[in-house]
Chains A and B, each alone.
Chain A
Amino acid sequence: DTAVSQTPKYLVTQMGNDKSIKCEQNLGHDTMYWYKQDSKKFLKIMFSYNNKELIINETVPNRFSPKSPDKAHLNLHINSLELGDSAVYFCASSQWAGGLAERGPYEQYFGPGTRLTVT
């Protein structure tokens, strides 16, 4: 009954490879996010999708391409991996919280993270 799940938990790969990380939520939320946590634990949003539509893209290189086949899934595909891509990637979900009609806390629930190591 995991709320937000990610696979794989660990991913070790070589520079130049292409890899994907999958995320699924069973909370019935309509918004999903990808965050990157670097080695200093700094956490920054990368993308956000609402009802399969991209709403946030935080100047992430276009080697990173999120794909949302439905509201419950948001996958992250990374092309031509670089050493600097090594980090922990977290998926999260919430009810839609943006826009002018903000009415609630719309808590974001996080997955367990995927530790990506590029060698």
Chain B
Amino acid sequence: GEDVEQSLFLSVREGDSSVINCTYTDSSSTYLYWYKQEPGAGLQLLTYIFSNMDMKQDQRLTVLLNKKDKHLSLRIADTQTGDSAIYFCAERSSNTGKLIFGQGTTLQVKP
């Protein structure tokens, strides 16, 4: 089946690194995504990773993928108060193209 799990809450201090974790079940997923949702707003695509990669870096964001364990993580370096939001990981179904989202991780950044 298709299922994506995330921890619900993470609190960090400004300037620290944040690591948000995600596990998924569909081993045939070829792309995995991270989205950010600020209060009252829609979802903003942050980054994605192809399943044959194990790492992707984009400025302050680092995505790590362990395909064997079906584990995905998003590291945000030098976390700022503006990073406070809900972060969703998602896998894309290889046959329908639909996105299956995790429950979202609320990131709280304390000054």
| Cα–Cα, bound, A108→B95 (Å) | 16
Q: A33 to B99: give the CA distance in the assembly, Å.
A: 10
Docked pose: A48 CA to B92 CA in angstroms: 13
Within 8 A of B (CB), among A28-74: 31, 33, 40-45, 48, 55-56, 58
Q: Are the C-beta atoms of B42 and A112 separated by less than 8 Å? A: yes
Taking a contact as CB atoms closer than 8 A, the residue among B30, B35, B37 that contacts A102 in the complex is B30
Residues of A within 8 A of B33 (CB): 105, 107
Whether B99 lies near A45 (C-beta < 8 A) is: yes
Contact between chains at B41 and A107 (CB < 8 Å):
no
Q: Which residue of A lies closest to B50 (CB)?
A: A105
Contacts of A112 in B (CB 8 A): 41-42
A98-B43 contact in complex given A41-B104, A43-B104, A107-B33, C-beta closer than 8 Å: no
| CA gap between A106 and B29 in the complex, in Å | 13
- In the complex, the answer to whether A110 meets B43 with C-beta atoms within 8 Å is yes
Docked pose: A111 CA to B37 CA in angstroms: 12
Interface of A is mostly: loop
A96 touches B42 (CB 8 A): no
> How many residues of chain B are within 8 Å of chain A by beta carbon?
26
Assuming the contacts A41-B103, A105-B50, asked whether A48 and B31 have C-beta atoms less than 8 A apart, the reply is no
Contact pattern, A 88-109, Cβ under 8 Å of B = 1, otherwise 0: 0010101011111010011111
Asked if B60 is an interface residue, CB under 8 A from chain A, the answer is no
Nearest chain A CB to B41 CB, angstrom units: 6
* B88 interfacial by beta-carbon distance below 8 Å: yes
Instruction: Say whether B42 contacts A44, CB under 8 Å.
Output: no
| Residue ID in chain B nearest A43 by CB atoms | B101
Smallest CB separation, B25 vs chain A (Å): 16
Q: Which residues of B have CB within 8 Å of A90?
A: 42-43
CA gap between A113 and B43 in the complex, in Å: 9
A40 to B45, CA, bound (A): 20
Docked complex Cα distance between A88 and B12 (Å): 28
Given contacts A43-B88, A97-B92, A107-B33, are A113 and B101 in contact (CB under 8 A)?
no
Contact of A107 among B45, B86, B88, B96 (CB under 8 A): B45
- 8 Å CB interface, B95-111 against A: 95-101, 103-104
